[in-house]
Structure 1
Amino acid sequence: KQGAIDEILDLVAEHRSEIVIAGPAFSAGRYGLACGGVTLRARERLGVIAVTGMHVDNAATEVYRTRLHIASTQRTAAGMADGLAIMARLALKLVSGTALGAPADEGYVPTGRRIFEMAERPAPLRAVEMLLRKVRGEPYTTEWPVPRYHRVPAAPPLQDTAKATIALVTTGGLVPHGNPDRLESGFATKWLRYSIAGVDSLPPERWQSVHGGFNTSRINEDPHRVLPLDVARELEREGVIGRLHPEFYSTTGNTSVIPTMRRFAQEMGRELRAAGVDGVILTST
């Protein structure tokens, strides 16, 4: 993938292009990831205006929406004409230095940035008017769309924890001191595993949190605050749990995107199942 992106960027540089338009990818996830990768690298490496387009439910939208301008398209290529028109309009505005308006007005996916503006009518009146429109069944547009999340059914409880193998997993960014594997403090792109075989505690001189979303000083004083190995070993010795898995899993949850976290969970889950793990203690921040 990276080699293909580099080849594309070499061609862009050779022709001295000022604008790069990738896609639209519509709902195609892998195509969306490729478009996002090309667009982001073109902007970072070449400094050119770069725009892509995809449906809001494309998995790549969540990955790139805070870093790119993504034209909001229909699900399928039936919306090709409209999608290309939005992408072209965005690109021309960006290259001219014209400030973009709100996503709903310009046709791009919200980037998560807040734009302050003066409203003609105060918020209470706007809210009541919106409520009345909703009650009457009339069309209305919310000023703060609620994120949509998939519901995940809870796993059934363990029948006998005294016979269970338990793994420790954390999104608190716990890594060996110095962060040798370069776990990101935010927007994590990977998860890591570290051995705790034969280990009863986590000395602060050997472990640290690199999480970028909170003050980590308390965890760095005592890493057990984010990975309770000490208590888990006590439960193991007392027979409350059967045994601890000999490795713990770590990543950073700060500003992470849901598709990436879902992939992490699936990858970890496959490994843990294959290792005979029955349950997980997941500690967060």
Structure 2
Amino acid sequence: MSKIKVVHYINQFFAGIGGEEKADHKPEVREGAVGPGMEFNKRFKGEAEIVATVICGDTYFNENTEDAKKKILEMVKKYNPDIFIAGPAFNAGRYGVACGTITKAVNDELQIPVLTGMYIENPGADMFKKSVYIVETKNSAAGMRKAVKSMTKLALKLAKGEEIGTPEEEGYMPRGIRKNYFAQERGSKRAVDMLIKKLKDEDFTTEYPMPDFDRVEPNPAVKDLANAKIALVTSGGIVPKGNPDHIESSSASRYGKYDIADFNDLTSEDHETAHGGYDPVYANDDPDRVLPVDVLRDLEKEGVIGELHRYYYATVGNGTAVSSAKKFAAEFAKELKNDGVDAVILTST
């Protein structure tokens, strides 16, 4: 029996090309295994082999998605693989989105089995876990060997067309698919058993897990707006012209802090949006539509608010990991408190 043919997708970092400064690397294909692909080949133990590795920079893929998909699909099609593997991406947001996007495209358009892997909080996980098999990994490349081990096992089963077990058995993220099966005990008994365990405060596993929503309790209302210092924060990507901090258009890894002390109104001459998740025309035409500096200045003059804080903070919410967003907020919230800000208006898109 011939070896299972695998085409592997990785980003510029894992290909050894470079970091963020090389994230605009255009799609290319190399024969054989590159970077983590060598660990995959080792784990395949002769049953499968990576025949080609497709490499693309994270920024290039996310800012030129359709073009990148078209080029990569042509590369993959040339090798006619038995399975296509992307990543693992761990908690790298743009890499995760790229892995999810390209695996779904390969599966949809070439009808080739696909697999990727990433951390549960990677934005790509939430976007694509119902469309493709995603093996859950640790949040950093320190978990590479464990991730490859889990991915290899599932990849071989997918390539062979074998029946795939439950997420708990195979290590992939739940896809929201329910299958009928014959259980040893009927549902009423299983339900009562779970209830008894719950009443005894014992561990039990539900057969129908509910969504886990992150609820944030609202703070008390501002009592004296007329004397309050108000700050603006946005995930809508409004930045000074030229995007001086190079905030990514998707899966942002940074935020910016910008001085608006001399601005009563934002215009297309001095500000723009870096956001890649909505049509930028109207935001670029009048950035106040996303970051309402003009309205806050009016309220300041009218005495409705005490003052508008001289700095605003901006990032891009499009595909940005929840963990990254929490980290950004924790950092600049300290600055806002130290600057005596009483309340924040958070705008989106």
Q: Which SS does the other structure have where 2:223 is aligned?
A: coil
Deviations along 1:43-97, one digit per CA (max 9) or x if unpaired, are: x9xxxxx9879xxxxxx53137639954479xxxxxxxxx96x963522443797
Q: Give 1:168 deviation, angstroms.
A: 0.8
Amino acid of the residue matched to residue 251 of structure 2? F
Which aligned pairs between 1:107-122 and structure 2 lie closer than 5 A?
107-110=171-174
Deviations along 1:138-192, one digit per CA (max 9) or x if unpaired, are: 89855xx654122211111111111111101111011122223211111111111
Query: Among 201, 207, 215, which residue is 1:151 paired with?
Result: 215
Distance (whole Å) between structure 1 residues aligned to residue 36 and residue 314 of structure 2: 42
Query: Among 266, 272, 280, which residue is 2:344 paired with?
Result: 280
Distance (whole Å) between structure 2 residues aligned to residue 14 and residue 147 of structure 1: 33
- Distance verdict in 2 for CA 1:252–1:146, change over 3 Å: farther
Alpha-carbon contact 1:65-1:109 (below 8 Å) kept: no
Alpha-carbon contact 1:172-1:226 (below 8 Å) kept: yes
Alpha-carbon contact 2:241-2:269 (below 8 Å) kept: yes
Q: Give 1:106 deviation, angstroms.
A: 2.6
Distance (whole Å) between structure 2 residues aligned to residue 186 and residue 178 of structure 1: 17
Query: Among 214, 230, 233, which residue is 1:166 paired with?
Result: 230
Q: Give 1:255 deviation, angstroms.
A: 1.7
Matched, 1:193 2:257: yes
Higher RCO structure (Cα 8 Å, ≥6 apart)? 1
Distance (whole Å) between structure 2 residues aligned to residue 14 and residue 153 of structure 1: 43
Unaligned runs of 5+ in 2: 1-13, 17-33, 44-88, 100-114, 139-144, 181-186, 195-205
Matched, 1:91 2:152: yes
Q: Which SS does the other structure have where 1:245 is aligned?
A: strand
CA RMSD, Structure 1 to Structure 2 (Å): 4.4
Query: Among 185, 208, 225, which residue is 2:272 paired with?
Result: 208
Alpha-carbon contact 2:256-2:314 (below 8 Å) kept: yes
Matched, 1:222 2:286: yes
Distance (whole Å) between structure 1 residues aligned to residue 41 and residue 326 of structure 2: 33
Distance (whole Å) between structure 1 residues aligned to residue 36 and residue 330 of structure 2: 41
Unaligned runs of 5+ in 1: 22-34, 45-49, 54-59, 74-82, 121-125, 127-132
Matched residue, 1:31: none
Does 267-276 or 64-73 show the bigger shift? Answer: 64-73
- Distance verdict in 2 for CA 1:233–1:102, change over 3 Å: farther
Report the TM-score, using the length of structure 1 for normalisation.
Answer: 0.62
Distance (whole Å) between structure 1 residues aligned to residue 217 and residue 227 of structure 2: 24
Matched residue, 1:266: 330
Report the TM-score, using the length of structure 2 for normalisation.
Answer: 0.52
Alpha-carbon contact 1:185-1:210 (below 8 Å) kept: yes
Q: Give 1:257 deviation, angstroms.
A: 2.1
Q: Which SS does the other structure have where 2:245 is aligned?
A: coil
Distance (whole Å) between structure 1 residues aligned to residue 292 and residue 36 of structure 2: 55
Matched, 1:137 2:196: no
Amino acid of the residue matched to residue 36 of structure 1? F
Distance (whole Å) between structure 1 residues aligned to residue 245 and residue 152 of structure 2: 38
Distance (whole Å) between structure 2 residues aligned to residue 64 and residue 95 of structure 1: 26
Alpha-carbon contact 2:150-2:171 (below 8 Å) kept: no
